[in-house]
Amino acid sequence: MAAIITGNGPCFELALKMTVVAEKSRKPIREGLFAEDANGVSLIGGRCRECAEIVFPANPFCPRCCRETTEPVALSRRGVLYSFTVQRFKPPPPYRGPDPFVPYGVGLIELPEGLRITSVLKAEPDDLRVGMEMELVVEGFFEDEDGNEILGYKFRPVEER
């Protein structure tokens, strides 16, 4: 059975086939952001029943139809780097990252569904170029007060295999 790293979003019935298991030591930074099934971990968006528009994070409201017409959907794990930058200064709170501060990439990942997602990048800044293929990774961003590892998402360049 798949490991579960997320629960349902608030006020939104997550329709994916998965089992909710409370796991103390690893927690998503926000419930409902991503989920793991037999094929691996995915970000969870919402797809409109009426117009096929995709939203992220999952949310019942379709901003194109202006009605609550979306249903949860696992998003593609791969996308294309639409643009990128490097965060060179430490963001103000509530940012939580390593101390001392370590610069990191931030990019827009264009998914084939027709959505660009802002994401932290897991890459050497010099390796980044617009148009390169990227893939999702879910990993720890920091530890919270109770010692839980807080999980967020990043995208990294797809490596040749």
Partner 1 sequence: MRDVYVIGVGLHPFGRFGDKDVIEIGREAVVAALEDSGVAWKDVESAYCGTVFAGPMAGNKVLARVGLTGLPIMNLENACASGGSALRLAFQDVASGFCDIALAFGFEKMPRGFIAGNPNDWFATMGMAVNPQYFALNARRHMADYGTTEDHLVRVSVKNHRNGALNPYAMYRKVMSYEEIANSTMVNDPLRLLMLCAPNEGGAAVVVASREAAKRYTTRLIRLASVVLKSPLYGTAEVPYIAVSSQVEAPSVTRTASEAAYEAAGIGPGDLDLVELQDTDSAAEIIYSEELGLCGRGEGARLLDDGATEIGGRLPVNPSGGLLSKGEPLGASALGQVAEVVWQLRGEAGARQVSDARVGLTHVYGALGNCAVSILQC
Which residue's entry shows tokens 């969870």?
A: 44
Stretch that binds Zn ion, among 4-12, 27-35, 62-70, 136-144 (CB under 5 A): 62-70
Site string for partner 1, 90-119 (x = CB under 8 A): -xxxxxxx------x-xxx-x---xxxxxx
- The candidate with the shortest Cα–Cα distance to 98, out of 149, 153, 142, is 142
Asked if 157 is part of the footprint of partner 1 (rule: CB under 8 A), the reply reads: no
Asked if 14 is part of the footprint of partner 1 (rule: CB under 8 A), the reply reads: no
- The candidate with the shortest Cα–Cα distance to 153, out of 8, 30, 12, is 30
Contact 45, 55 (CB under 8 A): yes
Among 23, 37, 50, 133, binds Zn ion (CB under 5 A): 50
Asked if 143 is part of the footprint of partner 1 (rule: CB under 8 A), the reply reads: no
Which residue's entry shows tokens 């980044």?
A: 128
CA distance 141 to 95: 10
Among 63, 127, 143, 158, binds partner 1 (CB under 8 A): 63
Q: Per this entry, what is the length of the chain?
A: 161
Binding site for partner 1 (CB under 8 A): 29-30, 33, 45, 52-57, 61, 63-64, 66, 82-89, 91-97, 104, 106-108, 110, 114-120, 125, 130-131, 141, 152
